[in-house]
Amino acid sequence: MPPLLANYYLTYKCNSRCMYCDIPIKPENIPIKETAPEIIIENLAALKRLGVKVVDFTGGEPLIYKQLPVVLKAAKEMGFYTSIANTGTLYPLKAKQLQGLIDDLKFSLSTIDPQAYSKERGINGFNKVIESIKIAKELGERPSIIATATPESIAQMEDVIGLAQELGVVVLLGPVFDYCGNDLLKDEGIKELHRLAEFDNVCVNWAFTEFYLDGGNQIAKPRCRAISSTIVISPDDHLLLPCYHMHDERLKIKHENGRSNLDEMWRSMHVQERRKQEGTWDFCQGCTIWCYFETSFLWPPDKYFLLNVKSKARWAKEKIKQYIECKSGLKLTRKLAGDRDKILTAISANPLNQPQIQKPAAERQPQEQKEQQHGLAAQQASEREPAKSSRN
């Protein structure tokens, strides 16, 4: 099977400084320069020849890459499904230029408390994220929230789900993975993710949570298909092997007469030899870096394959619901279904709570009780240690 996904790192620069991420501050990343759009477009053509279907433009903060609209436009014209996860802090500035170019637009958010957000990410960005999601919806995009649950932040996930329900977006909820010495969720945490997965607008990848509970990749019987399924390209035009997070090899991509040799390089004996070893290196033991496992679970058919299919079906259902709600104005979302005592709290500093769209008085009275609960929750959240999570 040819690789399906490209993780295209456009830049390692980022305007956030998340406590759990070293991408923008890693000494070897700092001098790395971005590549001109023409070179990236030649690589996209090579990815097309390889049979890649999805290009995830990532970073760093991918919106820092100035020529992003040019590159996205080329990717769309070549027929790729495009995906971007971003912080939302730069999106309001670029939204118009990006309109219609991103099929899967995700904003990362793991709390509804602006102070906890700043503490975790080193930037006052919470209000910008909310603004970005609203702008994206106004422009006809179908954005999602991507929320990474850590042992510290998992208690805030129900509030994030509530926010997603208010905003009418889907939240993709996943456990933190093992990188940069992050603390992982224990069985209880995964059980909590499964409880949260019952709520409307929530998607959890059950294949991944099962894999997590099973102890991740086992080098004696590897499940990782990082090289087979995913092409990883660095901002300075190298193919990274075997994956971004643990790459120990950077192969310079060559360009001649407007043609990239990325496809030939991937098919070379050397890369194919490494491909045969994917998931078997010492650093692969217990790996849960989910960026590579969604595609790794696409074959062979086993329990992870089946759970992955089930998760994709849920994602499709939620996105279709979001589409219908956007187009028709119908309200199909059951607010935090199944637990009436935990109905959504009010969200401080949420533009949706502005007076012109406030709910009728009859609905506002219970809201006051929720606001009191939220105040307590936010206070507890700010007293907790800051979260550790995965990229973006």
CA 382 remoteness from chain centre: 24
Q: Are 348 and 163 in contact (CB under 8 A)?
A: no
Closest distance to ligand SF4 from the beta carbon of 2 (Å): 18
Nearer to ligand SF4, 68 or 377 (CB): 68
Nearer to ligand SF4, 16 or 260 (CB): 16
- Total Cβ atoms within 10 A of residue 221: 8
State yes or no: residue 148 binds ligand SF4 (CB under 6 A): no
What are the phi and psi torsion angles at 51 (to 5°)? 100, 10
Name the nearest CA neighbour of 199 among 221, 171, 180: 171
Q: Give the residue, chosen from 116, 171, 289, 378, that forms a contact with ligand SF4 under the rule CB under 6 A.
A: 289
State yes or no: residue 16 binds ligand SF4 (CB under 6 A): yes
Name the nearest CA neighbour of 7 among 298, 293, 232, 288: 232
State yes or no: residue 114 binds ligand SF4 (CB under 6 A): no
| Interacting span for ligand SF4 (CB under 6 A) from 13-21, 153-161, 198-206, 298-306 | 13-21
State yes or no: residue 150 binds ligand SF4 (CB under 6 A): no
In this structure, what DSSP letter does residue 105 have?
E
Query: Residues with Cβ < 8 Å from 72, sequence gap 6 or more?
Result: 57, 82, 98, 101, 102
State yes or no: residue 126 binds ligand SF4 (CB under 6 A): no
Nearer to ligand SF4, 195 or 274 (CB): 274
Nearer to ligand SF4, 12 or 206 (CB): 12
Closest distance to ligand SF4 from the beta carbon of 320 (Å): 29
Q: Give the residue, chosen from 3, 24, 168, 386, that forms a contact with ligand SF4 under the rule CB under 6 A.
A: 24
Name the nearest CA neighbour of 391 among 13, 1, 7, 18: 18
CA 85 remoteness from chain centre: 5
Characterize 262-274 residue by residue with b for buried, 16 or more Cβ atoms within 10 angstroms of its Cβ, and e for exposed. bbebbeeeebeeb
Q: Distance from first CA to last CA of the chain, Å, rounded?
A: 29
State yes or no: residue 145 binds ligand SF4 (CB under 6 A): no
Annotate each residue in 53-72 with x if it binds ligand SF4 (CB under 6 A) or - if it does not, as one string.
------xxx-----------
Q: Are 126 and 349 in contact (CB under 8 A)?
A: yes
Q: Give the residue, chosen from 5, 21, 55, 169, that forms a contact with ligand SF4 under the rule CB under 6 A.
A: 21
Tokens of 90: 């730069």
State yes or no: residue 243 binds ligand SF4 (CB under 6 A): yes
Q: Give the residue, chosen from 18, 64, 101, 130, that forms a contact with ligand SF4 under the rule CB under 6 A.
A: 18
User: How many whole angstroms separate alpha carbon 116 and alpha carbon 378?
Assistant: 8
What is the footprint of ligand SF4 within residues 211-240 (CB under 6 A)?
217, 224, 226
Alpha-carbon torsion angle 384, 387, 388, 392, nearest 10: -170
User: How many whole angstroms separate alpha carbon 67 and alpha carbon 191?
Assistant: 42
User: How many whole angstroms separate alpha carbon 58 and alpha carbon 290?
Assistant: 15
| Interacting span for ligand SF4 (CB under 6 A) from 18-26, 168-176, 308-316, 319-327 | 18-26
Q: Give the residue, chosen from 4, 6, 10, 14, that forms a contact with ligand SF4 under the rule CB under 6 A.
A: 14
State yes or no: residue 242 binds ligand SF4 (CB under 6 A): yes
Nearer to ligand SF4, 21 or 161 (CB): 21
State yes or no: residue 246 binds ligand SF4 (CB under 6 A): yes
Residues that bind ligand SF4 (CB under 6 A): 14, 16-18, 21, 23-24, 59-61, 87, 217, 224, 226, 242-243, 246, 278-279, 281, 283-284, 287, 289, 292, 391-392
